[in-house]
Structure 1
Amino acid sequence: MRLFKEKLAWAAPLAVILIIALFSVNLFAQGNPKVKNLPVALIVNDEGVHVDAVQSAVKQMSKGTDGEEPMLAFTNEKEENIETLFDDKKYYAALVIPEGYNDSLQNGMKNNTSATLNIYINQGYNMTGANFAKTALNGLVTQLNNQYSTNFIAQMDGQQIDAAKAAVLVNPIVSEEKVFNEITASTANGSAPTLMAVPAWVGALIGGFILFLVTSNIFKKEKLTRKQTLRIMGGQILFGVIIALFSGFTVATLASIAGINMPSYLLVAFFVSFAAFCFFLLVSAITAWIGKPAITLFMVVMLLGMGVLMTPQEMLPGFFVNFIRPWVPIRFASEGLRDIFYFGSGFYTGGSFITIAGIGIVGLVIYLLSIFKPEPKTK
């Protein structure tokens, strides 16, 4: 058949393979995630043989099993610093040995009271990571509790005990949890920041590409001076502001209708608008230099990035952590919104704000420099 002799026809199945591969690459990130080295703080406010037993259990847990990396990576910290460290997203959780723990466990059977280990959970950092850390720490407390319970029961063999003493005998160690930077209700279980950041990128991508097509048609029809070209570029930037504001307020309005519990409608709307405008400048810059292939590039970035947005980096393969995650612009918008939603941040969100602004500034400079791009030779 004649169609089979056409080289372009064979590009169709190859294109399908490439597109499916790009859509499916996130299977490597999400298919079988393994938690490793989740940063957890260890706070020791007491001393004694029973405190040493907890530290020994922590040390054993830090070694991992079967040659694999451990689930948790412990670092000693002071309790007065933990709130700041949580706000800076240094740890997903903390295990606290409170003052008086050693005596409480030593005299638990006499006083009919269980000793307490505290577990602090930095929920707003990442709900998935915080839950894994919480589960692992509760498992550690349960392990210690079972060991002491077995020893106490062996010591009490044959003795008469009352109900209060029996409760301590079964649970000589209990855990108390305290949540920091709590994920509020009606925020899609902590996914709202990411779900609201993605439209900012998509709006910038679509808006930027449409304006690129419009300006390209203008440049094809007329030969413009650099001054005229700059005016058109200025108009494109002004349109970018309009597109960004439409993006931000549309996202905030739809989120409000959907019942998302936003800390401030205007704050969220303007932050999404800010991120969308900076992304628009980046899209405009790249399309101005390389043209239509830029859209394919940005779509690939978005597809690869979707697998890393909601997953803690400790659960991702090394390739995604080193080569995909740092280059996903949506991640910084998501982190900024996370600071606004759960960490009490204002419009300025620290590192994420600076990165987004940097993307916008670099995009603007590259876009303006495109005025010096050599014109293609015409036949």
Structure 2
Amino acid sequence: MKLANQKLIYFSPIIVVAVIFIFILTLIPSVSPAPKDLPIAFVNGDEGVTVPTKGNVNIGDQIEQNIKSSSTKQSSVKWIFVSNTKEVEKGLNNLKYYGALIIPKDFSKKQATLQTTQPDAPAIRLLVNQGMNTAASTLASQVLNGAVDKVNENMRLQLVKRFEQSGTQLSTKQALALVAPAQKTVINVNETGTHSVNGNAPVSLFQPLWMASIAGAAVIFLTIQKITFSSRKEKIVNQVGLVIIGAILALAAGFGLAWMAEVVGITVPSFLDTALFLAIAYFSFFTLILAVLSWVGLKGLPIFVIILFFGAPLLSMAPEIMPDFYREWIYSWLPMRFMVDGVRELFFFRGHLTWNHSVSALTFIALISLCALFASALPVSSVKREKSRSI
């Protein structure tokens, strides 16, 4: 049988298993995600209260000390102690914190009323930075609610002990107040809304843009492969033409993708700003892919397909939830993360295109790629051939 003489047949099981192994690696980060150093802000605005037998009592300070002591025992949360609410709000808007716990100035004062006939339960504000990352903000919400539950547990034990020592009979209001001595108010900031693919619209927009970048670069590369250049100057002029074509494709992709996102029901806060940013991202990806193809040929194309499969699961996760290896050695090298971060800022934070970290990073990638693209028109071998002809 002639088929038995083909050596590749015997290697096919190894190839199949290797492909399965490569793509199963993409599932590892999302199998059992565990947060590490998830930044959550804490503000203690409690002014305390003067108690005749105890002097000044500040429950907020006690809560702060308890959180500081507990934070040394766990690495899942990184509590950041901030001086005031305005600083927290600024940090939330600048994507520094996934959430915040705020103790109001009258916390101790109201807590003291729980032992009177007219109890007024103090309130704790919980801010959840929903737009920063869906999964991470959910974890932050769980951490914040757990912290308040712990506060309630401690306060309840202290109050029950005091009532027992004084022999006071609880009124109905006091009994109800003991259920939740500290009320909590949960506020979602930078909300994702109801038409954002559950907050994953930035990641959803990345995939078609990345594939369009691969397709555009591959088509252009195959087209120029059919062209014969008589001189180096002619090839450089051709590279300039490629950049112009890339810019046209970028505008078409940016405005087309923004329009189609609206068609399918995704809320696009600012159509023009979103379209222009997507165009910048496309141009950056297009030049990167075309530069690699110009140096290594079509065999470089699978690299960007593999990047898609490895990158897509990570882009929907917060860096603090990823395993160390994936965060340091894969996620940090993904160029598309700047596109996702930029769209996230446009959709859930800024609403307008600015010269931010994402835009500057994509521009830098495009500039480096353009340098590599033009350098591919000046290989050493070509220079030698031109010199030999002149001699």
Question: Given the alignment of the two structures, is residue 216 of structure 1 paired with residue 222 of structure 2, yes or no?
Answer: no
Question: Given the alignment of the two structures, is residue 26 of structure 1 paired with residue 33 of structure 2, yes or no?
Answer: no
Q: Which residue of 2 aligns with 1:14?
A: 14
> Counterparts of 1:44-59 in structure 2 under 5 Å?
44-46=44-46, 47=48, 48-59=57-68
Larger deviation, residues 283-292 vs 250-259: 250-259
Question: Given the alignment of the two structures, is residue 99 of structure 1 paired with residue 105 of structure 2, yes or no?
Answer: yes
Corresponding residue to 2:371 among 356, 362, 365:
365
Question: Given the alignment of the two structures, is residue 78 of structure 1 paired with residue 87 of structure 2, yes or no?
Answer: no
Distance 1:26 1:270, change over 3 A: same
Structure 2: how far apart are the matches of 1:175 and 1:70?
A: 25
Contact 1:340-1:349 within 8 A present in 2 as well: no
Contact 1:33-1:315 within 8 A present in 2 as well: yes
Query: What are structure 1's unaligned runs of at least 5 residues?
Result: none
Structure 2-normalised TM-score? 0.89
> Counterparts of 1:254-293 in structure 2 under 5 Å?
254-293=260-299
Q: Which residue of 2 aligns with 1:126?
A: 133
Structure 2: how far apart are the matches of 1:12 and 1:245?
A: 43
Give the drift of 1:49.
4.2
Q: Which residue of 2 aligns with 1:139?
A: 146
3-state secondary structure, aligned to 1:43: strand
What are the superposed Cα offsets for residues 165-207 of structure 1, whole Å, 9 maximum, x if unpaired?
2221221111112222222221111101111122221111111
Query: What are structure 2's unaligned runs of at least 5 residues?
Result: 49-56, 386-391
> Counterparts of 1:318-333 in structure 2 under 5 Å?
318-333=324-339
Q: Which residue of 1 aligns with 2:179?
A: 170
Structure 2: how far apart are the matches of 1:223 and 1:124?
A: 51
Contact 1:289-1:370 within 8 A present in 2 as well: yes
Corresponding residue to 1:340 among 324, 343, 346:
346
Q: Which residue of 2 aligns with 1:196?
A: 205
Question: Given the alignment of the two structures, is residue 40 of structure 1 paired with residue 46 of structure 2, yes or no?
Answer: no
Give the drift of 1:345.
4.0
Give the drift of 1:296.
1.2
Structure 1: how far apart are the matches of 2:381 and 2:208?
A: 34
What are the superposed Cα offsets for residues 256-296 of structure 1, whole Å, 9 maximum, x if unpaired?
11111110222212211111011101111111011112111
Give the drift of 1:138.
0.7
Percent identity over the alignment is 27
Give the drift of 1:51.
2.1
Distance 1:216 1:13, change over 3 A: farther
Aligned residues: 371
Structure 2: how far apart are the matches of 1:18 and 1:42?
A: 48
Larger deviation, residues 164-173 vs 301-310: 164-173
Give the drift of 1:2.
4.2
Distance 1:349 1:302, change over 3 A: farther
Contact 1:94-1:121 within 8 A present in 2 as well: yes
Corresponding residue to 1:251 among 245, 254, 257:
257
Larger deviation, residues 369-378 vs 267-276: 369-378
3-state secondary structure, aligned to 1:371: coil
What are the superposed Cα offsets for residues 285-308 of structure 1, whole Å, 9 maximum, x if unpaired?
111011112111111222111121
Give the drift of 1:90.
1.3
Structure 1: how far apart are the matches of 2:156 and 2:226?
A: 79
Structure 2: how far apart are the matches of 1:14 and 1:371?
A: 39
Structure 2: how far apart are the matches of 1:81 and 1:151?
A: 32
Give the drift of 1:235.
2.4
Larger deviation, residues 237-246 vs 131-140: 237-246
Q: Which residue of 1 aligns with 2:122?
A: 115
Structure 1: how far apart are the matches of 2:204 and 2:224?
A: 31
Distance 1:223 1:231, change over 3 A: closer
Give the drift of 1:36.
1.9
Larger deviation, residues 331-340 vs 256-265: 256-265
What are the superposed Cα offsets for residues 78-112 of structure 1, whole Å, 9 maximum, x if unpaired?
22211221222111111112112122212223241
Structure 2: how far apart are the matches of 1:29 and 1:182?
A: 26
3-state secondary structure, aligned to 2:314: coil
Q: Which runs of 4+ in 1 moved over 6 A?
A: none
Larger deviation, residues 297-306 vs 101-110: 101-110
Structure 1-normalised TM-score? 0.91
Distance 1:251 1:188, change over 3 A: same
Contact 2:203-2:312 within 8 A present in 1 as well: no
Contact 1:281-1:367 within 8 A present in 2 as well: yes
Contact 1:245-1:270 within 8 A present in 2 as well: yes
Q: Which residue of 2 aligns with 1:242?
A: 248
Contact 1:61-1:70 within 8 A present in 2 as well: no
Contact 1:105-1:114 within 8 A present in 2 as well: yes
